[in-house]
Copies of this chain bind each other. A is one copy, B any other.
Amino acid sequence: MKRHILTFETYDDWDTGPLEATYVVHNLPHGGEVSDLSSEAIANIEAFAFKGHNKLGAETMNAFPKLGMIANYGVGYDTIDVAYASSKGIRVTNTPDVLTDDVADLAVGMVIAQSRGMVGASEWIKSGNWAKNGAYQLGNKVTGKSVGIVGLGRIGRAVGERLQPFGGEIHYYSRSAKGTNGWTHHEDIVEMAKAVDILIVTLSGGPDTIGMVGVDALKALGPEGLLVNASRGTTVDEEALLEALETSTIRAAALDVFENEPNINPRFLTLNNILLQPHQSSGTTETRKVMGQLQRDNLAAYFAGKELLTPVN
């Protein structure tokens, strides 16, 4: 007999096929409410295939009497109240590692694309300005620029490895020094920001890292500095960042994440010293397929009473 699960947001065909072959799948689409589900569905659902960045707290969990498992699609689970889940004996899993490469690739892409003005240059040629008005404005060199990585987890390390052949010093902030290939450890983000040209944030989200890159770090980064955020919008003080960009306290930013996604602060849209990406750091077909598989493997392990593959609690 098929067990009942609840999926959140939209899944690709390569996920819905296998999910529906195994489970009775109920869905809560973007903007949907628990009250949209039938009382029978609510009574039967034993696990969530969770997706997206909306809050998932006590109220939602308590609405489902048989809920025992939240399988998150993604590495970050900062919007899930894991402490509450643990207190209720609800298991939580995520999809780490499998998206590390994609996030690091996009972070490097953001460094180059912002420094070299690639989006504006593309518009320049598409709008006919190249033929009409000549060369596009000059950009900023990437090779040789010193880089500071805020948070040296798997993603931060993957970013550093990719930037090493670009020849600049690699610095990193973390609570303790780690084994690296000659990279410079800092215990203070502001001190590190003073030492580098490019600050790349790869922290986890959640309450511990809120606003860790704040007004002082941005000031220390300085008027030639570039801030790249490939983590969570919460890790950077967004008001301080907007002001730094508006007053050219820093040179530029490249952001894949924002405090209020997808309804980002409209002030971002008026800036010309910024590269915006719609939280797509793990957004490749290859990686999304692997993430979906890992989410299903965790669900299968839960229902089989086996050890979870990538447990969070």
B residues less than 8 Å from A142 (CB atoms): 101-102, 105, 109
Contact A166 B105 (CB under 8 A): yes
Complex alpha-carbon distance, A162 and B116, angstroms? 16
Contact A102 B138 (CB under 8 A): no
Complex alpha-carbon distance, A121 and B164, angstroms? 27
Interface residues of A in 165-189 (CB under 8 A from B): 165-167
B residues less than 8 Å from A106 (CB atoms): 112, 116, 118
B residues less than 8 Å from A54 (CB atoms): none
B residues less than 8 Å from A116 (CB atoms): 105-106, 109, 280, 283-284
- What string of 1s and 0s marks CB contacts (under 8 Å) between A61-80 and chain B? 00000000000000000000
A140 touches B (CB below 8 Å): yes
Q: Min CB distance, A268 to chain B, in Å?
A: 8
Complex alpha-carbon distance, A277 and B125, angstroms? 7
Indicate whether A278 sits within 8 Å of B140 (C-beta atoms), given known contacts A109-B116, A134-B30: no
- What string of 1s and 0s marks CB contacts (under 8 Å) between A102-137 and chain B? 101110111011011111011011100011001110
Most chain B CB within a 10 A radius of its CB, from A118, A119, A263: A118
Q: Min CB distance, A29 to chain B, in Å?
A: 10
Contact B109 A118 (CB under 8 A): yes
Complex alpha-carbon distance, A264 and B125, angstroms? 9
Contact B10 A262 (CB under 8 A): no
B residues less than 8 Å from A261 (CB atoms): 130
Among the stretches A38-46, A202-210, A285-293, A302-310, the one at the interface with B is A285-293
Contact A108 B119 (CB under 8 A): no
Contact B101 A141 (CB under 8 A): yes
B residues less than 8 Å from A167 (CB atoms): 101
Contact B285 A134 (CB under 8 A): no
A97 touches B (CB below 8 Å): no
30 A-B Cβ contacts within 8 A?
A: A10-B135, A30-B134, A101-B167, A104-B143, A105-B112, A105-B141, A109-B112, A109-B113, A109-B116, A109-B118, A109-B142, A112-B112, A112-B113, A116-B280, A121-B277, A121-B278, A122-B275, A122-B276, A130-B261, A130-B262, A130-B278, A131-B264, A135-B279, A136-B278, A136-B280, A139-B284, A141-B284, A141-B286, A164-B165, A165-B165
Please name 5 further chain A to chain B contacts, defined as beta carbons within 8 Å, in addition to the given A105-B115, A131-B262, sorted by A numbering.
Answer: A12-B138, A116-B280, A126-B269, A136-B278, A165-B165
Q: Which 4 A-B pairs have the closest CB atoms?
A: A109-B112, A101-B143, A141-B286, A130-B262
Residues of chain A touching chain B, judged by Cβ–Cβ distance below 8 Å, are 10, 12, 30, 101-102, 104-106, 108-110, 112-113, 115-119, 121-122, 124-126, 130-131, 134-136, 138-144, 161-162, 164-167, 261-264, 269, 275-280, 283-288
